[in-house]
Amino acid sequence: MAILIDENSKVVVQGITGREGQFHALRNRDYGTKIVAGTRPGKGGEQVESIPIFNTVQEAIDETGANVALTFVPPAFAKDAVLEAAYADCQLIVCITEGIPAKDEAEMYNLIKNNTKSKLLGPNCPGLISPGKSNVGIMPHEITLPGNVGVVSRSGTLTYQAVHELTQLNIGQSTCIGIGGDPVPGMSFIDILKEYQEDEETNAIVMIGEIGGTAEEEAAEYIKNNITKPVVSYIAGVTAPPGKKMGHAGAIVSGNKGTAKAKMEALEEAGVLVVSNPTKIGKAVKEVI
């Protein structure tokens, strides 16, 4: 099985007429994902290689039954695009856009949580893939393998590395997810861990964190109390100097908070197998399964 998306997911691509939107929409469709529609205000009635374009998400949903939105909209307009999809009752919104102001992210998060039933993945994330079933985002499907290990990460590129390490050892994945590295992500580690725990065909979990914030410590507490499946983790940023942002907007150590050491200790205390190098993830998963 898979979480959040599967072979039945129907995707509407917001911003399908842009370079990135069109490229990944067609790439995902070629993989087998049901890309049923795109949106671009003023372009309704046109097509992108037989994919119909609508002026609004609501029109796309009414005509095609789309239930997942994939958002490639510039930062200045991304908040409005995400909220449009949420108020149209999209079950899942995957926002790839990088550089959205933190204020907009906070407003998006609060409005979606308090006024809709939608789930938001991202912003500034690579999306997710359920290998062999559906790819919604920018993840390279070539390195994936269908199987039973769930992968969740704040970092897109570390997601790719973890998946590649697993595939090299012939260890398949159920769903691979990048939640994004911004200070205000939609779905959290805990949200994804809960989904994996309830998924009958996910037998083990890989969680990749990084410096900054308290998401990993909160996840460790949740794992200790709620997760019965084996968890392998890697935390990036061991050598990062305090006060310097490392890559992601949320990856910054402030005083004694958010350090890699503190996160690793919390996870180890929760019974998680923590590795010191991402190249060790595959072998660690092989051990626990």
Write out the catalytic residue numbers.
248
Helices and strands counted in the chain (H then E): 9, 14
| Direct distance between the N- and C-terminal alpha carbons of the chain, in angstroms, rounded to an integer | 18
Q: Is the Cβ–Cβ distance between 93 and 85 less than 8 Å?
A: yes
- Angstrom distance (rounded) from CA 28 to CA 79: 24
Q: How far apart are CA 169 and CA 242, in angstroms?
A: 36
Cβ-contact 2, 175 below 8 angstroms: yes
Residue 192 contacts residue 152 (beta carbons within 8 Å): yes
Number of Cβ within 10 Å of residue 30's Cβ equals 11
Residue 141 is given by DSSP the state: G
The HSE-up count of residue 136 (CA atoms within 13 Å, CB side) is 35
